[in-house]
Amino acid sequence: MAEKAREYPELRFQGFSGAWEKRKLGDVSDIQGGGTPDSKNQAYWSGDINWFTPTEVSNQGYLSESRRKITKEGLLKSSATLMPPGTVLMTSRAGVGDMGILTQAAATNQGFQSMIPHKEMPSYLLYSMQFFISRMANKLASGSTFMEISGKQLAKIEVMIPGDSQERELLCNFFKNLDDMITVNQRKLNELKKLKKAYLQKMFPKNGVSIPELRFAGFTTPWEKRKLSDISEKVTQKNTNNSFSEVFTNSAERGIISQLDFFDKDIANQKNISGYFIVKNDDFVYNPRISNLAPVGPIKRNKLGRNGVMSPLYYIFRTHSISPSFLEYYFEGTQWHYFMYLNGDTGPRADRFAIKDSVFSTMPIFITSSSEQIQIGSFFKSLDELITVNQRKLDKLKELKKGYLQKMFI
Span of 57-66, 230-239, 341-350, 355-364 with lowest mean pLDDT: 341-350
pLDDT in tens, 31-51: 999 999 999 999 999 999 999
Same domain for 146 and 71: yes
Q: How many domains does the chain have?
A: 2
Question: Which of these three, 367, 384, 403, is where a domain ends?
Answer: 367
- Do 315 and 235 share a structural domain? yes
Pinpoint the alpha helices (H) of 8-155. 25-28, 72-76, 123-128, 130-140, 151-155
In angstroms, what CA-CA distances link 181 with 98, 110, 281, 397? 20, 32, 38, 8
Q: Is the pLDDT of residue 393 over 70?
A: yes
**What CATH number should be reported for the domain holding residue 276?**
3.90.220.20
Distances (CA, A) of 50 to 64, 170, 224: 8, 31, 53
Say if 151 falls within a structural domain.
yes
Range list of β-strands (E), 144-282: 158-161, 224-227, 232-234, 248-251, 255-258, 277-279
Q: Are residues 157 and 239 in the same domain?
A: no
Q: Are 357 and 316 in contact (CB under 8 A)?
A: no
Q: What pLDDT score does 279 carry?
A: 97
Do 129 and 230 lie in a common domain?
Answer: no
Q: Is a pLDDT exceeding 80 seen at residue 349?
A: no
| Domain housing 321 | 224-367
Whether residue 150 is found in the same domain as residue 232: no
Please check whether residue 12 lies inside any domain of the structure: no
Instruction: Give the model's confidence band at 280: pLDDT under 50 very low, under 70 low, under 90 confident, else very high.
Output: very high
User: Residue 270 above 80 pLDDT?
Assistant: no
Q: State if pTM tops 0.95.
A: no
5 occurs within a structural domain: no
List pLDDT tens digits, range 140-179. 887 656 788 999 999 999 999 999 999 999 999 999 999 9
Given this model, what pLDDT does residue 346 score? 67
| Predicted local confidence at residue 145, as pLDDT | 67
